[in-house]
Structure 1
């Protein structure tokens, strides 16, 4: 079965290499040296931040299980993380607009380092505190850094199109190359060198500390709404009003919640899905394969976004539809493939699921830079972090509900539900494209008003 892992990994590596080497002038955007220096600084920091996150990914579930907790206990720990992200993370993340995005990024580093330290304790209460801190950190990771980047990019007067370059490179490195190296490094530390499943968390804290030092020494501060008299409640009200009054923002939030909710559910379920009878699977190596798939997706996204005639809103409909089908494979394999013996290697059905999961991860790789680009277009600058954290509220509610009922439903039911949500995201993406095209053509509204006026005159 190890041959199968290496074949999948080798094939994906070859495809990524071909895509990167085959990029022509049409796939590249001409930029300035000042922008390249700015971009490279951000990419170094972002890669270190993502290394701190990805090193933990494959071993969170496994570490808790090694401490003797069952699936229900682990589910509650995960609920604490997502619940913390929803309650405390939304508040802390929203403060970035008022108190500064650089400060928020430093807070992410400190909070996540403290979360890593708690993993040394087998005490359930201390692990719960770690999950709460990790939830706050997650909200900051997915709002403060992007908000700082967009504001700093605009403040320095760089071309708006160049943001796509930074987004695609950030995902290619942070969610691709760095994630692969993190998975392999975690596997080396935990398994090959025998340091145990807590070692990747120590390595994560080390990389986060390096990234924090670079932020403190080289980043300037920027803010959202600079008004002195605007408190946190007013920020929330303003963000809610922006979402309610602009259909594009509301649709974007719904799409993001549906996709990320399915993605985070997948993160929790892929381990038991590939080893339902306690099959012996290489967690770190499989995780690295997933990240290579995500890297492939980000390469595809960079080629797509480099074409001015191709709109993000258009191709993302297809991406969501493909991702919906990929998460149906666990259901299909459960019906058509016989289960494996307990404790053996991965079954044939598991191999089919692994391929499907790789397709899903490729869709994730396309999703991240594409959703970043749409957020940069539609979300107002003065409340960017606040609105982005608002988007995470329904996401966290959804994941908490799923994890709370993790023992009540079979894995196939959960994957089916995720597939339905991804199909809904495809439908909403279609609606977003229609609304966006309408806003891009104001002359159509003028013509429509003239025709309405003529109709009214004829009626009179």
Structure 2
């Protein structure tokens, strides 16, 4: 492995360590022992769930190529996953509000374990089934767990500020440290022990099974709106009305869809971008480097959210702008540098530059997750939290499906350009969210006006 990979990984690790060690009392929040116990239990479960997800990430594309499938066929498999998340995942995820968030989290474990099992078959139909199951699991992962946490946090009467602490720690561990270890562990399984690209999926199934056992033994059930006997269609209508009637919720959904759509497209693009001429690249180690960058971002987010200023709505504008610029880098390199036609070998100089830009994007991802979680906890009503969060994923999945369906029709630079534009639009929408979040509600103005009119004039 080239020294370049070690230098990037070491530099990022040093920055993260410096940030964590330099935290002062002003950057820390004093919490109760009851909350710490609750938080640690959730972090354990979330870390196990994310280990099950991250172990698979670097090897999905690679596994399909070893089975002899081309970019177009792999794109169709990815489309099946996102399409399943949009159609079936939205329904299953929304049932969490009515049937219980704990039950939905257990369903995630079972569904994802079955998806891992399908990776042992090279048959296209079996792999397609695995992608469909994985799409359902993804919707549950990004709605049911957060919904359970917010409801349980409020039910136990913990301070609202402490919720941001759990969000930041969850991303630091689950999307940072666990992801890094998962990437390195996957690299050991595939490259060092030569167990083949399906080995990480078997390991993922084991972590998911352990996490499911912890959920069943230690979590209590909570619901969105158990008092009313609403069917699924009524839940969907209520969520749609909430989004349409509150501009802040609508903006939050659009911002999330634009960013996550770009992020998931990036997951598909980074491998061919760094190895356009079939260069030998260490997938697991590069993935771990990306996750260390994400860890850096979540460490910055925890500091930012520990203080009342700057507000999340404010600093996220900069995050979206930086992420937009970082995905423009492959386009600039394509114009400024002459591409090499030599097949194989190690990563090129242009690939090294792109890797640095991708690390900057992943740092933005690390800031995005806890920040969007905090905004969702502020703006989304509790009674339909899972349903609304899954509604947010519908345009996201449509966007990714359209991009992947046309993956052979557009050069890779065009797809990076589209992602960069969407991220810039997210920046503009974030600016709008900041503006309207500072304004009092119309009802507040009307109440203030009535109070003023009722006051006697002092002459």
- Structure 1 length-normalised TM: 0.96
Deviation at 1:215, TM superposition (A): 0.1
- Give me the whole-angstrom Cα distance separating, in 1, the residues matched to 2:441 and 2:23: 30
The aligned residue for residue 3 of structure 1 is 3
Determine if contact 1:323/1:419 at 8 Å carries over to the other structure: yes
Deviation at 1:308, TM superposition (A): 1.4
- Give me the whole-angstrom Cα distance separating, in 2, the residues matched to 1:114 and 1:228: 33
Matches within 5 A, 1:103-118: 103-118=103-118
SS of equivalent to 1:65: helix
The aligned residue for residue 34 of structure 2 is 34
Determine if the alignment matches structure 1 residue 425 to structure 2 residue 426.
Answer: yes
Determine if contact 1:324/1:418 at 8 Å carries over to the other structure: yes
Deviation at 1:227, TM superposition (A): 3.1
1:375-412 deviations in Å (ceiling 9; x for gaps): 00000000000000000000000000000000000000
The aligned residue for residue 331 of structure 2 is 331
The aligned residue for residue 455 of structure 1 is none
Deviation at 1:450, TM superposition (A): 10
The aligned residue for residue 202 of structure 2 is 202
The aligned residue for residue 245 of structure 1 is 245
Determine if contact 1:338/1:349 at 8 Å carries over to the other structure: no
- Give me the whole-angstrom Cα distance separating, in 1, the residues matched to 2:229 and 2:38: 32
Seen in structure 2, the aligned counterparts of structure 1 residues 291 and 441 have a Cα distance that, compared at 3 Å, is farther
The aligned residue for residue 366 of structure 1 is 367
- Give me the whole-angstrom Cα distance separating, in 1, the residues matched to 2:319 and 2:58: 25
- Give me the whole-angstrom Cα distance separating, in 2, the residues matched to 1:419 and 1:375: 24
Seen in structure 2, the aligned counterparts of structure 1 residues 378 and 338 have a Cα distance that, compared at 3 Å, is same
Deviation at 1:23, TM superposition (A): 0.5
Determine if the alignment matches structure 1 residue 53 to structure 2 residue 60.
Answer: no
- Give me the whole-angstrom Cα distance separating, in 2, the residues matched to 1:411 and 1:342: 18
SS of equivalent to 1:161: helix
Determine if contact 1:269/1:411 at 8 Å carries over to the other structure: yes
- Give me the whole-angstrom Cα distance separating, in 2, the residues matched to 1:315 and 1:449: 36
Seen in structure 2, the aligned counterparts of structure 1 residues 442 and 308 have a Cα distance that, compared at 3 Å, is farther
Number of residue pairs aligned between Structure 1 and Structure 2: 452
Deviation at 1:338, TM superposition (A): 2.3
1:99-155 deviations in Å (ceiling 9; x for gaps): 000000000000000000000000000000000000000000000000000000000
- Give me the whole-angstrom Cα distance separating, in 2, the residues matched to 1:315 and 1:450: 36
1:142-169 deviations in Å (ceiling 9; x for gaps): 0000000000000000000000000000
The aligned residue for residue 456 of structure 2 is none
Seen in structure 2, the aligned counterparts of structure 1 residues 445 and 297 have a Cα distance that, compared at 3 Å, is farther
Structure 2: 5+ residue stretches without partners: 454-459
Deviation at 1:284, TM superposition (A): 0.3
- Give me the whole-angstrom Cα distance separating, in 2, the residues matched to 1:325 and 1:234: 42
Deviation at 1:447, TM superposition (A): 7.1
The aligned residue for residue 130 of structure 1 is 130
Deviation at 1:88, TM superposition (A): 0.1
- Give me the whole-angstrom Cα distance separating, in 2, the residues matched to 1:162 and 1:210: 27
SS of equivalent to 1:406: coil
The aligned residue for residue 351 of structure 1 is 352
- Give me the whole-angstrom Cα distance separating, in 2, the residues matched to 1:224 and 1:244: 20
- More deviation, 436-445/229-238: 436-445
**Runs of 4+ more than 2 Å apart:** 439-452
Determine if contact 1:337/1:348 at 8 Å carries over to the other structure: no
- Give me the whole-angstrom Cα distance separating, in 2, the residues matched to 1:442 and 1:20: 43
Deviation at 1:344, TM superposition (A): 1.5
Structure 1: 5+ residue stretches without partners: 453-460
The aligned residue for residue 417 of structure 2 is 416
The aligned residue for residue 174 of structure 2 is 174
- Give me the whole-angstrom Cα distance separating, in 1, the residues matched to 2:443 and 2:369: 29
Matches within 5 A, 1:287-436: 287-340=287-340, 341-436=342-437
SS of equivalent to 2:440: helix
- Give me the whole-angstrom Cα distance separating, in 2, the residues matched to 1:83 and 1:166: 31
Deviation at 1:228, TM superposition (A): 4.5
The aligned residue for residue 68 of structure 2 is 68
Determine if the alignment matches structure 1 residue 84 to structure 2 residue 84.
Answer: yes
Deviation at 1:309, TM superposition (A): 2.6
Deviation at 1:322, TM superposition (A): 0.3
1:146-202 deviations in Å (ceiling 9; x for gaps): 000000000000000000000000000000000000000000001110000000000
- Give me the whole-angstrom Cα distance separating, in 2, the residues matched to 1:349 and 1:58: 21
Seen in structure 2, the aligned counterparts of structure 1 residues 80 and 443 have a Cα distance that, compared at 3 Å, is closer
Determine if contact 1:339/1:347 at 8 Å carries over to the other structure: no
Determine if contact 1:90/1:390 at 8 Å carries over to the other structure: yes
- Structure 2 length-normalised TM: 0.96
The aligned residue for residue 456 of structure 1 is none
Matches within 5 A, 1:436-451: 436-439=437-440
